[in-house]
Amino acid sequence: MEVTVTGKHIDITDSIRQYAQEKVGKLPKFYDRITSVQVIADRYDSHRFQVELIAHVDGHEHVVASSQHDDLYACLDETVDKMGRQLHDLKDKLRNHKKHGPE
């Protein structure tokens, strides 16, 4: 799985990049067909951050999660949690999908 970390109006330090890669690296336990994840961190106010995750999933449309917080690391944690729930729900939906044919 390829992880890309970019920043808008913020410099991405090595510690931020490493933390993001570590957190995003746990997502395949929810759904193993993730090909790549984009992490976009944005500072849109002097003390407010937004993090958006875009997961590219093999054979499905991409999954997007975002959150806002005063602390960048807490914002990243919250966004990864949201993404984990979405991927878990997607896996359940695909696993439990039953095709109904003519009876």
Give the residue-averaged pLDDT of 48-54: 96
Note whether residue 38 is domain-resident.
yes
* Residue environment code for 74-98, b if the CB has 16+ CB neighbours within 10 A, otherwise e: ebbbbbbebbbebbeebeeeeeeee
- pTM listed for this prediction: 0.87
Residue 26 has pLDDT above 60, yes or no: yes
Domain residues for the domain of 25 are 2-95
Residue 22 has pLDDT above 90, yes or no: yes
Note whether residue 9 is domain-resident.
yes
- The CATH number for 41's domain is 3.30.160.100
**pLDDT tier, 29 (very low <50, low <70, confident <90, very high otherwise):** very high
Q: How far apart are alpha carbons 77 and 61 in whole angstroms?
A: 23
Note whether residue 100 is domain-resident.
no
Give the residue-averaged pLDDT of 55-60: 90
**pLDDT tier, 87 (very low <50, low <70, confident <90, very high otherwise):** very high
Residue 99 has pLDDT above 70, yes or no: no
Note whether residue 102 is domain-resident.
no
Q: What integer pLDDT is reported at residue 95 of this predicted model?
A: 84
**pLDDT tier, 100 (very low <50, low <70, confident <90, very high otherwise):** low
Q: How many domains does the chain have?
A: 1
Q: What percent of the chain has pLDDT over 70?
A: 94
Note whether residue 101 is domain-resident.
no
